Amino acid sequence: MNGPRSRKTGRTVKTGLLLVTFGFVVALVAFALSGFDQLGAIAAEQEVAADAAAASPYGPAPKLTAADYPSIAGINSRVAVWIFAQLHLWFAAFVLAVPIFVFIIEAIGMRTRDKRYDDMAYEFIKVSITAYSLTAVLGGALLFSLILFYPHLFTYLSTIFKESMIYYALLFFAESAALYIYYYGWHWLQGGFKKWVHLTLGLVLNAVGTTLMLLANSWLTFMMSPAGVDAAGVFSGDAWAAIHNFLWNPINIHRFVANIAYGGSIVGAYAAFKFLTATTKQERAHYDWMGYNANFIAICALLPLPFAGYYLAAEIYAYSQQMGITLMGGIFAWLFIIQAVLIGTLFLSANYYLWCGMGRSDGAKRYTKYIKYIAIVLVGAFLVWFTPHTLVLTNEELKALGGPYHKYLGPLGIMPAKNTAVNVMIIFTALSFMFYRRANKIATVSWVNAGNAIQVALYTAGIANILFLGIYHGYFTNTVYKVAASIPQVLTTLIVIVGSITLDSFIYRGGKQVGPLHWGRIPGRAQYALFLLAVSFTWLMGLMGYIRSGIRQHWHVVDIMRDASPDAFTPTLGYAANVVSVAAIIFMAMVIFVFWIAQVSGNKTLPAGYWKE
Amino acid sequence: MKIPRLLQAVLVLAGVYYGFIIVFDILLDAVIPSSLLAMYMFFVVAGVFMVFTYDEDQTRELVAPIKALVEDPSKRIWRNIVFAVVPLVAGAGAYMQMQPSFEAPLELRTIHPAPPTTAKIFGKRVNLLKLENPYRKFEKEDPEKFRELVEEGAIVYIQNCQYCHGDKLDGKGPYAAGLNPTPLNFQDVGTIAQLQESYLFWRIATGGPGLPKEAAPWISSMPVWQDFLKEDEIWKVILYLYDYTGHHPRSWESE
Amino acid sequence: MRQFLSVIVFSLLTIGFFAGYSNFGIPQIEPAPPPKEEKLDLGSMTMDQFIAVGEKLFSGKGTCTLCHNNLGRAPLLDTIGEVAQQRLKDPRYKGEATNIEEYLIESLVKPSAFVVAGFGKKGTNDAESPMPDVSGGSIRLDEAEITAVVAYLQDSSGAEVTVEIPKDLGKKKEGGEEADVAEAEPREAISDPEKLIAMFTCDACHMINGVGGEIGPDLSKIGALRNRDYLRRSILDPNADIAEGFEPDQMPEGMGEQLYVSELEVLVSFLAGLK
């Protein structure tokens, strides 16, 4: 590197860092303000309330009857709201997630000065820009259907959240502005200082987007764990208390992580389709690479997701035991079997994609012999995870077993076995990934054998610890340890993953490449694994939306505002699955439209003799 | 001799399938439910497919015989045979599936339905979330008295419960064979070990008729014991159930 | 296009598999319908809710727990189901009931039909009960409410609940007390203080001329102790002043809505004259 260039780079880096810091501060302030302003508004309101003395400006939650719900012949109002909400959520999750990893990829591109990253980041954001307007349209449709079919619920919620709804609208403008400048200014804001400005814009975009999600989350968590209101539903005037309700943060974390995984999977499906329809070798290589990166993002977010889910479930239990039992026992117990099938599908297809991807490297042969063992463990762990607590038995089997309980399969139906299985699955997925990373590399450090031995020891000890915790604490101690054992299990998993990746990065520091990676050398089947990932993810989100909403049972706002509509009953799993499936198909059709629109702008038709020469 | 990959795959699947059957039905003497086995096999097939097809060359080897069967002119006779046999097998399978049988339809019931928050037991409304066994405290405070209570519970059990639930608490009492659903096996780690004592109190006191709707069909022949036993007898018998089986009631307090 | 179609088919198959598994692979459990809301619509009320209404009346509007508590002012009712059966055969029983339900209703509206030994009005040798008729006076339970209290008494004492939830009275009940007052025929004003005291059962709690209960202060010589303003205020707003040694919130409020002004003055004059 020559002198002047590096000096210039140094200056740019400094300015850039400053800008990013500034952007971050702006974002933080914006976020804090959204809280403080409410505090101000609240203070003012409290004064008003004090003036009005006994007469509270807020009434109790209305007590409704079936007549309070407008209906339109031929339209089931709950299903309409359900589908609009679900579609809105899918698109929102996608458009909020994409800028997060576009930001990261752009930063990686700036760091490595590899233009491919920048092009890929641009292509990702291009995909999400059409989806963005659809998100807004669907949000409007949801709002409209809510006002139309559930006017009293909407009125009640909007009296409590009126300030945050205004901020929501304002932030939406900010989000649009940031997104459009970020997207349309991509090629303009290139190089040196301008690039840093662009990255900062990306950060602001993410900050605004995340704040939007947090606000929207507060409304739905308020319905699950109302706060800031008394037992009759009279609002205290403290909007922050209503927003910062008990389940707000658990949902925030779960959704944030899941959105990234979801966004990755959708972009992966996009890349997979482009790969399958690519005509040139370069194109195939490009979209293979893009698909790999999208899958990588999805897996990275997928690994911690079960833990975020357990945290959310534990918090629901802590908030209300009644709600917790509704969630985990009784009718919803079977939902978790469906969930197990879906998450198993996610893990299996993600692994399959990695294994197929090993064909890109000529050095992979050294590791492929282990794949079948990984597959055996993954499938085995999955079968344990999937085994239901209540077995479906024919009468003959019932007689043969002497009861509905199975001596050997029964113990697999309870939580400790499932925690153990999911931790093992995560560790082995990480192992798959490690083999993939190693496939094209040869270590040159002198202590490579010792290093490998430590890796083996790390994995062995980790798995042994997980099994011990699961089996000993799960079956030979009382409940408090059963539940508590899941925490050291998770920690073990995290330590093994982080430890092995760190160690590997040292082992392969300065290592040789076996040969160039053959991007594009991957079977078409692997692309279907990416489709499977995206479809399963979409459907799973819909299913979990049903249970999240379903545990409120016949309440609009739990214990405060009762759902008196004819649709207050909890639907069966099959019914919910059908609604989710229909919504997923609609979503798919819309996504195809979005992708088609994204590429149609590149098409040019030259009509001969149409225009005056 | 190298076994063709397609045959390998089929052998692996058959091995796993019969492996499950041999291990569970014969070695462990506890049949594997066919519904579960079907789902297990579905994912085993997925796993085998994944392992056999992640590599392009190996996949080609795997599908080569199938391709040859369909395309190779020299395999004409085989092709015709397969094309005739496959629909026949599919038809036979469909016939066997749809054929009416004397087997009673499957009854799917939730065995541990979510308990109500409160229940009416012995004329009182009790809060099941807070209800505790009044004798449990003696386990630490007065072990001798606790033993006595367990003994009394044992007498209640032998006089009332063992006819169905068995003298070893394994759900295999003399009358068990006549009942469907069969009596619960308390030795199993998935039954009382998973439950709080208040749950047992509710189930014993209100019996089959006290089951909520989601645990229907309401054919459990468990009697409504609050009509026959006293409150303290139920609590004592609960002590005995846990004591004999060595399980601990589910609780949220550390020991 | 071929690729596109196969991707679509693949995705639809995947969704179909998930939906199929959710519909046919797992048991379809019909969740229990939402519980009925607890409102005073008698037509759709379950017996448990009706009993709960009775329980509320027992400790609330009915003011039963003022005396039927463990302080020994009146008999405890925790075993009334069993006891009532014996009462019917008791030679001292003067009523017409033939079963527990009838006995309980009778006890509420004609308390003197059977007086438990030791709990009678002072000086009547257990011939007369100090308990007021709950359908009149300041308590004024209507028929449906009395039935609810009986349901609660049967239920809480372990007896079989035999009462039926009244259907036709639902509307009246929802209207509340105001509706009751509005519907009631205007009565003639009473000018005899003794009749007024009997009507509003003041002597259930207050000793007047040596006869009556001990829950409220003895009024036999109240004229010597308090002036007319104080007496008037105490009738209209019982918690304004509490005599030493007595609990607040014991005397029913709302006398002001039930007495005519002339009657109030009759009472005040009568009490002021007790010296």
Read off the pLDDT of residues C185-204 as tens digits, 9 standing for 90 and up. 567 788 888 888 877 778 77
Q: Give the model's pLDDT for residue A424.
A: 93
- Contact between chains at A479 and B250 (C-beta distance less than 8 A): yes
User: In whole angstroms, what is the distance from residue A72 CA to residue C129 CA?
Assistant: 62
Residue B38 has pLDDT above 80, yes or no: yes
Last residue of a domain, one of C136, C156, C183: C183
Q: Give the model's pLDDT for residue A265.
A: 92
Q: Which residues of C touch B (CB under 8 A)?
A: 25, 27-32, 48, 155-158
- Contact between chains at A329 and B103 (C-beta distance less than 8 A): no
- Contact between chains at C30 and B213 (C-beta distance less than 8 A): yes
| Residue-range definition of the domain harbouring residue C204 | 193-272
Q: How many CB pairs under 8 A join B and C?
A: 20
Residue C13: strand, helix, or coil: helix
Q: What is the CA radius of gyration of chain A?
A: 27
Q: Give the model's pLDDT for residue A43.
A: 43
Q: How many domains does chain C have?
A: 2
In this predicted structure, which of A287-291, B42-46, C239-243 has the lowest mean pLDDT? C239-243
* Cα end-to-end span (Å), chain C: 109
* Average pLDDT along chain C: 78
Instruction: Give residue limits of the domains in chain B.
Output: 5-98, 118-245
Which candidate from B35, B123, B214 shows the least CB-CB separation from C31? Answer: B214
Residue C93 has pLDDT above 70, yes or no: yes
Q: How confident is the model at residue C167 (pLDDT cuts 50, 70, 90)?
A: low
Of residues A222 and C83, more confidence is placed in: A222
Using alpha carbons, list the distances in angstroms from residue A510 to A113, A179, A516.
19, 39, 16
Which candidate from B111, B115, B194 shows the least CB-CB separation from A414? Answer: B194
Backbone angles phi, psi at A190, to 5 degrees: -120, 145
Nearest chain C CA: its distance from A433 CA (Å): 25
User: In whole angstroms, what is the distance from residue A264 CA to residue A120 CA?
Assistant: 13
Q: Give the model's pLDDT for residue B217.
A: 54
Nearest chain A CA: its distance from B57 CA (Å): 10
Q: Give the model's pLDDT for residue A30.
A: 45
Q: Give the model's pLDDT for residue A543.
A: 94
Nearest chain B CA: its distance from A319 CA (Å): 14
Q: Give the model's pLDDT for residue A35.
A: 41
What is the mean pLDDT of the segment spanning B81-89? 93
Q: Which CATH superfamily is domain B118-245 in?
A: Cytochrome c-like domain (1.10.760.10)
User: In whole angstroms, what is the distance from residue A187 CA to residue A481 CA?
Assistant: 57
Nearest chain A CA: its distance from C28 CA (Å): 6
In A427-581, the DSSP E strands lie at 441-442, 512-513, 555-557, 561-562
Is the CB of residue B36 less than 8 Å away from at least one CB of chain A?
Answer: yes
Q: How confident is the model at residue C181 (pLDDT cuts 50, 70, 90)?
A: very low
Q: How is residue C62 annotated by DSSP?
A: T
The residue among B24, B35, B41, B54 with the most chain A CBs within 10 A of its CB, best to mutate, is: B54
Backbone angles phi, psi at A235, to 5 degrees: -75, 135
Q: Are residues C199 and C220 in the same domain?
A: yes
Residues of chain A under the 50 pLDDT cut: 1-9, 24-55
In this predicted structure, which of A374-378, C206-210, C245-249 has the lowest mean pLDDT? C245-249
Residues in chain C closer than 8 A to B214 (CB atoms): 29-32
User: In whole angstroms, what is the distance from residue B233 CA to residue A47 CA?
Assistant: 61
User: In whole angstroms, what is the distance from residue B229 CA to residue B156 CA?
Assistant: 9
Residue B246 has pLDDT above 70, yes or no: yes
Residue A483 resides in a domain: yes
Residue A372 resides in a domain: yes
CB C52 within 8 A of CB C35: no
CB C200 within 8 A of CB C253: no
Residue A607 resides in a domain: no
Task: Give the side-chain half-sphere CA count within 13 A for A595.
Answer: 16
Q: Are residues C171 and C252 in the same domain?
A: no
- Contact between chains at B47 and A407 (C-beta distance less than 8 A): no
Report pLDDT digits (tens) over C8-22: 999 999 999 999 999
Q: Give the model's pLDDT for residue A377.
A: 94
Task: Give the side-chain half-sphere CA count within 13 A for A358.
Answer: 28
- Contact between chains at C12 and A585 (C-beta distance less than 8 A): yes
Q: Are residues C179 and C208 in the same domain?
A: no
- Chain centroid offset of residue A88 CA: 15
Using alpha carbons, list the distances in angstroms from residue C143 to A582, C106, C147, C176, C184.
55, 12, 6, 13, 14
Q: Are residues C76 and C144 in the same domain?
A: yes
CATH value at residue C205: 1.10.760.10
Closest CA to A271 of A295, A293, A287, A285: A287
Q: Give the model's pLDDT for residue A18.
A: 53
Q: Which two tokens stand for residue B138?
A: 């003696």
Last residue of a domain, one of C152, C183, C214: C183
| Residue-range definition of the domain harbouring residue A393 | 362-516
Residue indicated by tokens 């070798």: A281
Nearest chain C CA: its distance from A524 CA (Å): 10
Q: Give the model's pLDDT for residue C37.
A: 56
The residue among C17, C18, C29, C47 with the most chain B CBs within 10 A of its CB, best to mutate, is: C29
Residue C240 has pLDDT above 90, yes or no: no
Residues in chain A closer than 8 A to B191 (CB atoms): 405
- Contact between chains at B39 and C25 (C-beta distance less than 8 A): yes
Q: Give the model's pLDDT for residue A87.
A: 95
Using alpha carbons, list the distances in angstroms from residue A369 to A2, A364, A456, B11, B219.
47, 9, 16, 19, 54
* Cα end-to-end span (Å), chain B: 61
- Contact between chains at B40 and A478 (C-beta distance less than 8 A): no
Q: How many domains does chain A have?
A: 1
User: In whole angstroms, what is the distance from residue C221 CA to residue C226 CA?
Assistant: 9
Q: Are residues C49 and C178 in the same domain?
A: yes
